[in-house]
Amino acid sequence: MNRRSIIYASAVGVSCVLGCAAGAAADAPPTLQMLEEAAVRSAIEQVRPAVVRIDLIGSAAADGDLQASGPTSGLIVTAEGHVLTSTFGFATLPASILVTLDDGRQLPATLVATDHSRQLVLLKLEGATELPVQVIAPLSETNAGQWAIAVGRALSADGPNVSVGIVSAVGRLQGRALQIDASISPANYGGPLIDISGRILGVLTPLAPDSSEGASGTDWYDSGIGFAVPLADYKPSLIRLQSGEDLHRGLIGIAFASDNAMESPAAIGSVRPRGPAAAAGLRSGDRIVAIDRVRTDTQAAFRRQLGRFYANDSIVLAIEREKSSFEVNVTLVSELEPFRHAALGIRPRDASTSEAARVEVAHVVPGGPASAAKIEAGDMIERIDDQIVSTSDDLAAAVQLRTPGETVKLNIARRQESIGHSVTLAERSAELYTPENGTTPGEQASAAPPGETREFNLPGYATPCPLYVPSDAQDARPLGLLVVLQSGSDAIDPEALRRWQESAEQNRLMVAMPHPQESRGWSARDIDYVRELMRTLVERHDIDRRRVAIAGPDVSNPITLTFWLANRELVRGLVLGSAELPAGVRLPENEADRPCLVLVTADAADRKTVKLIEQFHKVGFAAATGGDSSPEIIAGWVDSLDRM
C-alpha cells in the first residue's frame, strides 16, 4: 500500500465513525463543562469591579527571570479606597502609583504599609469613595479540591485576565497561604483568588517556601504551584496596615535540639541571647507544648503556628520544664542578633590516663579569656560550671551553649591541686594562630617520619583524588582533614600535593586535592562527589571532626562557598581565595551546632576583603585574613580549628 492510499483509507474510516457520533450528540442537555464554565464566568463578572490595575512609575519589577515595566493587579478592600496588592514591582520604591478602576477612572495612590511576611502591600487611593468591595469567603469554606479562580488586570486595563484551577492545599508556608494550581504570574500577582461563587479567597502573592522577604517566589510563575494569602482571617492585619504599620515576620530566637521536625514535644536546643525567648526566661531543654493555647505537638506544628504571627505580636507559650509546666508571654521581634560562638581561648587535647579520660589544655590562646584567668598549657579541665568534663567533645558542647560575655567556672587540676577559675568567655575568633607558650601539637609531630602520598578512588567516580596521609606516630593526635579543590582545567599534578606535605605532616592534617569529575570544571554535581569523598575519609581515618576544612581553587570560582553552603554540618573551616561574594549568594545565619571559621586569603588591605569579612561577621561568623595563601599558613590555621 502506498502513502496516498493509507491516507485515503483512514480518512474514510474516521469520517464514518464521526458522522454517526455527531448525529447522536445533537441537541444534548448542557454538559457539566458548560455549566462550570458559566459559573466561572459569572464569578469573574461579580469580582470584576473590585479588581484594579496598578501602574508603578519609576519602579522596576526586576525579580529573578522577570524584568518588565508592566503594570500589576490589586483588590479593593475598603469602600474608602484601600487596595491590597503584592510586593511584586515594589522592590524599588516607585515615584508614583496610578490605579485604574473597572469604570476606567484613573486615580493616584499612596503606599500605606507593607506586610513583609505575606508579601502584600496596602495602597490608598486619593479621592475615592463608595468603591465596590467584594464578599470574603469564610475560612471554613476554603478547602483543598474546590475551584480557585485567579483574577488579575495586568494584561489589559479593559477587563480582567483569569486562570482557573483548584485549591491544592490550605495552611501552606507556615500557615500563611493557600496553594493553588492555577497559573500565577505577573499577570495576576496582587489580584484576588475567588471561589466559584465569586467570593474572595485571598490575594495572589509571589510567596515561596524558604523565602524571607521581597518578591522571592517569581521563579515559580506559571508552574502549577501558586500561593494566595487568605483574607478570611486577615482583618486584624489589615487594620494594622491601615494605621501605617509595616508588618514583619515574628521571630522568637530559639533553635530546636533535634533535627527531627516531627519530634514531640519540641525541645529547645539553644536560646538566642537577648532574643525574645531569652527575655522571657526560656532555656535549653524547655519543651514548648502550645502557642496561645493551640497545642503544638511537634516542631512542625510549632513552626506552622508561629509563622502566622508578626513582629511585636505577644504570644503565650505553654512550657514544660523538667516536672513543672507554666505559661510565659513572649513578644516577637523582626530581627534577631546573629548567634555568635563563645570561646575559652584554649585548644584542648584528649588525654587518656590509666584512671579516666581527661581534657588537657594543649595550648592557651595568647590574650584570650583563659590566658587572662591564668590557665596554663598542661592544666587538666575537670569541670565547667560543676558539670563533669571527660572529653573535649563534652567541653565543646558545654561551651557551645554559652554566649560571649558570660562567665563560667572551670575546675582545673594542676600538679595534684584542684583550683576553680572564673573565665569570662570571648567571641570565638578566626584570627591566625601564633603559638606563644606550651607545647604545640605541631612541634611534637614534626619529628615523625613522613607519611604516605597516594591516589584515592571513590567508588562510582572516575577521577582519582590525590591524597596525603601523615605518618601514624605513637600516641599522636587524631588527624584533621583539609580538602583543597583543584582548578578544573589542570591535569592531575603530583607536585601540587608535594607542596602541602610538610605542613600537613606538621599540623597532623590529611590533605585531599580532588579534581572535578568533568574536564569542563567544577559544576553543581561535583558537590555530591566532594561530600562523599569528605564523609568517606572522615569515617575511614577517624578524622577529628572539629578540624575539617575546605579550600578553593582560585579567586573567581564560587565552588568552595557553594560546597560549604550545602554541607555546613561537615565543614568547620572555610578558606576563601575570593574577596567577593558571587552574585546572588546570600550568607546564612550562624547556628550553634554548625560552627565554622572563615579565612580569607585575598589581599588583607583590599576594601573587598574587609567587606567580605564584615559580611560574614554580620551573620555571626568569625572571619579573618590569611595574608598569603601558603600551605604553612593555611595548614596551621586549619589545625587550630579545634580552638574553643
Partner 1 sequence: MRQSLHLSTLSLGLVLGAISFVRAAANESLPTGDSLRMLNLQTQTKIVKIFGVGGLRQLEAYQSGVFVSAEGHILTAQSLVLDEGEVTVVLWNGARATGTILTVDPLMELALVKIDVEEPMEWFRLDEGVSVQPGTRVLAFANVFGIAVYDEPVSMLQGVVSGIVPLSARRGATGANYTGKVYVVDAATNNPGAAGGAVVDMSGNFLGLIGKELRSEATGAWINYALPVSALREPVERMIKGEPPPATSPSDTSADQPTMADYGIVLIPDVIERTPPYVDRVVADSPADKAGVRPDDLVVSIGGRSVASRRDFERLLAASVQGEPLEVAILRGKELLHVSLKQPGNLE
Q: Which of residues 143-172 bind partner 1 (CB under 8 A)?
A: 149, 154-156, 159-165
Interaction between residue 61 and partner 1 (CB under 8 A): yes
Whose Cβ is closer to partner 1: residue 85's or residue 507's? 85
Whose Cβ is closer to partner 1: residue 41's or residue 525's? 41
Interaction between residue 18 and partner 1 (CB under 8 A): yes
Of the candidate residues 36, 327, 452, 455, the single one contacting partner 1 (CB under 8 A): 36
Q: What type of residue is 490?
A: D
Q: Lay out the site mask for partner 1 across 224-243 (x = CB under 8 A, - = otherwise).
A: x-------------------
Per the CB < 8 A criterion, the answer to whether 140 and 170 are in contact is no
Interaction between residue 399 and partner 1 (CB under 8 A): no
Whose Cβ is closer to partner 1: residue 19's or residue 460's? 19
- Local structure of residue 378 (DSSP, 8 states): T
Kind plus residue range of the DSSP H or E element containing 364: strand 357-364
Long-range contacts of 579-583 (CB under 8 A, 24+ apart): 579/555, 579/603, 579/606, 579/608, 579/609, 579/611, 579/612, 580/608, 580/611, 580/612, 581/612, 581/615, 582/558
Q: Lay out the site mask for partner 1 across 106-145 (x = CB under 8 A, - = otherwise).
A: xxx-----------------x-------------------
Whose Cβ is closer to partner 1: residue 17's or residue 583's? 17
Closest by Cα among 544, 547, 579, 543 to 561: 579
Kind plus residue range of the DSSP H or E element containing 226: strand 226-230
Interaction between residue 29 and partner 1 (CB under 8 A): yes
Closest by Cα among 626, 525, 516, 606 to 566: 525
Within a 10 A sphere around the Cβ of 43, how many other Cβ atoms? Answer: 21
Whose Cβ is closer to partner 1: residue 65's or residue 130's? 65
Interacting stretch for partner 1, rule CB under 8 A, among 95-103, 330-338, 359-367, 489-497? 95-103
Per the CB < 8 A criterion, the answer to whether 358 and 379 are in contact is no
Whose Cβ is closer to partner 1: residue 48's or residue 541's? 48
Interaction between residue 4 and partner 1 (CB under 8 A): yes
Interaction between residue 37 and partner 1 (CB under 8 A): yes
Interaction between residue 209 and partner 1 (CB under 8 A): no
Of the candidate residues 47, 49, 52, 55, the single one contacting partner 1 (CB under 8 A): 55
Per the CB < 8 A criterion, the answer to whether 133 and 76 are in contact is yes
98: which strand partners? 55, 108
* Angle in degrees, CA 187, 190, 193, rounded to 5: 90
**Shortest gap between Cβ of 583 and partner 1 (angstroms)?**
16
Burial of 345 (0-12, 13-18, 19+ CB in 10 A): buried
**Shortest gap between Cβ of 8 and partner 1 (angstroms)?**
5
Restricting to residues 63-82, name those near partner 1 by CB under 8 A. 65-71
**Shortest gap between Cβ of 27 and partner 1 (angstroms)?**
10
Interacting stretch for partner 1, rule CB under 8 A, among 91-99, 275-283, 341-349, 574-582? 91-99
Of the candidate residues 46, 78, 183, 629, the single one contacting partner 1 (CB under 8 A): 183
Interaction between residue 40 and partner 1 (CB under 8 A): yes
Whose Cβ is closer to partner 1: residue 62's or residue 397's? 62
Whose Cβ is closer to partner 1: residue 94's or residue 631's? 94
Q: How far is the CA of 49 from the CAs of 100, 157, 449, 620, in angstroms? A: 11, 12, 85, 50
Question: What is the total count of residues that contact partner 1 (CB under 8 A)?
Answer: 76
Closest by Cα among 205, 72, 51, 74 to 134: 51
d(CA 211, CA 229) in angstroms, rounded, equals 15
